[in-house]
Amino acid sequence: MKEQLIPYSEKMEKTLSVLASDFGSIRAGRANPGVLDRVSVEYYGTMTPINQVAAVSVSEARILVIQPWDRSCLKLIEKAINASDIGIPPQNDGVCIRLVFPPLTEERRKDLCKTIAKHAEEAKVNVRNHRRDANDFCKKQQKDKLITEDDLKDLEKDIQKLTDDFIAKIDKMANEKEKEIMEI
């Protein structure tokens, strides 16, 4: 890859990591600590991610256990989970909090697949925006006589190939997540 394209490749790579994070927060009927990544607790006046105030583990396929290091924040964690968009009521036994993931209905699976498709399309749009920025940068270089017209054509081909590769990776990630969701 040509050195002019490295910053754009890195931006596209970052888009993939954001998509992976988004997909990680979509629950598939199995306990996944990733669903708590976006939930924060007000701990001593500071918003703190749950995984920094408690041990989060999967005890069974559908049960997530949250064991706070400081029992005084048990109620705070429970309150934060209730306020989040997870949609699973926490069960507090005074020592730890359990999140029991219900099995997904067919309708809910289809809704989740739509959400996955939406996230994937947003990532593709983001990658295409980076392609446009890279093309604009190369055209400006050619206009400023820093590269030749032939170099511009070669760079545009490289940019398109890079874009196609990232779009294919996004499609693959979306298909894998949809397959995971539809699995019973």
Give residue-wise pLDDT tens across range 62-97: 888 999 988 888 888 888 888 887 778 888 888 889
Give residue-wise pLDDT tens across range 10-59: 999 999 999 988 887 776 667 778 778 788 888 888 888 888 888 888 88
Q: What pLDDT was estimated at residue 94?
A: 85
Residues 155 and 87: their CA atoms lie apart, in Å, by 47
Please list, residue by residue across 72-109, b when 16 or more beta carbons sit within 10 angstroms of its beta carbon and e when fewer do: ebbebbbebbeebebebebeeeeebbbbebeebeeeeb
Q: Is the pTM of this model over 0.75?
A: no
| Tokens coding 25 | 């927060």
CATH numbers and ranges of domains, the chain: 3-24+105-182 (1.10.132.20), 33-100 (3.30.1360.40)
pLDDT score of 165 more than 70 = yes
